[in-house]
Amino acid sequence: MPTEIPDIVISRLPVYLRALERLTQEGQEVTSSHELGRRLGISSAQIRKDLSHFGGFGKQGTGYKIAFLKEQLRQVLKVEREWNVVLVGAGDLGSAIAHYRGFSDRGFHIISVFDNSAEKIGRKLSTYDIEPMSQLDEFVTEHDIRIAMIAVPAEHAQQVADTLVKAGVKAILNYAPINLSVPEGVHVQYIDPVLHLQRMTYYLSE
């Protein structure tokens, strides 16, 4: 396994993995870079090049064995293991996240939810007890949590991120509509569906 894979390649691997999982559900056992390319709107040359970073996945002409390729990608991405995650924010958005089953289905388990509202603390959100924000850092450290989701209002997001990073979190999925500043070695990904809509309206005629 190589140690250095370009970030841009890493960002495409989950998309390949998802397509392979879909093919499995459809009963397929073998696929090709052409088929994957067609499904994903990525050139087959690009796919072959991306997958060649791991060496020996497919043979020219015989295609990729889906089960094997999935396993390799899962190992590379470290998603063959299960991850514990904390969710910060128990408002509308936090509630939607807590109820969404797609995370645990795919190996990401929310194990605790934090909020700073006195009204919410101690109440249930989905299957979780809402914990006070004051216990966030201790919880993260104690449970060796590396991944957190932030679903607090924009004006609190940076402060929450600072607390999480100080306590040892290395990966943040940020739903607050604001860019976070984090030290090197900490990764942030953003979910803001409105940005995606705005990326498309440019192309719409009046």
- H or E element: which one contains 175? none
Closer of 138 and 192 to a copy of itself (Cβ): 192
Determine the Cα–Cα distance for residues 16 and 24; give it in Å rounded to an integer. Answer: 12
Give the 3-state secondary structure of residue 109: strand
What gap in Å lies between CA 67 and CA 62, rounded to an integer? 15
Residues between 155 and 194 that touch a copy of itself (CB under 8 A): 155, 170-171, 173, 177-179, 181, 187, 189-194
User: Which residues are within 8 A (CB) of 64 and not within 5 positions of it... i.e. 6 or more apart?
Assistant: 30, 31, 32, 33, 36, 51, 57, 58
Near a copy of itself in 112-151, by CB under 8 A: 146-147
Euclidean distance between CA atoms 162 and 176, whole angstroms: 14
Which two three-digit tokens encode residue 120? 């919410």
CA distance 16 to 38: 12
Separation CA 83–CA 80 (nearest Å): 10
Q: What is the nearest approach in angstroms of a copy of itself to the Cβ of residue 61? A: 25
User: Among residues 65 and 74, whose Cβ is nearest to a copy of itself?
Assistant: 74
Tell me the closest approach of the beta carbon of residue 117 to a copy of itself, in angstroms: 17
Phi/psi at 162 (nearest 5 deg)?
-60, -45
Contact between 204 and a copy of itself (CB under 8 A)? yes
Q: Is 109 in the site for a copy of itself (CB under 8 A)?
A: no
Written as six digits, the tokens of 13 are 């691997």
Tell the smallest beta-carbon distance from residue 205 to a copy of itself (Å): 8
d(CA 170, CA 152): 18
Per-residue x/- marks for a copy of itself, 75-104, CB under 8 A? -xxxx---x-x------xx-xxx-xxxxx-
The window from 17-25, 55-63, 115-123, 160-168 that contacts a copy of itself (CB under 8 A) reads 17-25
Among residues 84 and 132, whose Cβ is nearest to a copy of itself?
A: 84
Which stretches of the chain bind a copy of itself, using CB under 8 A? 5, 10-11, 13-15, 17-19, 22, 25, 38-41, 76-79, 83, 85, 92-93, 95-97, 99-103, 106, 108, 146-147, 154-155, 170-171, 173, 177-179, 181, 187, 189-204, 206
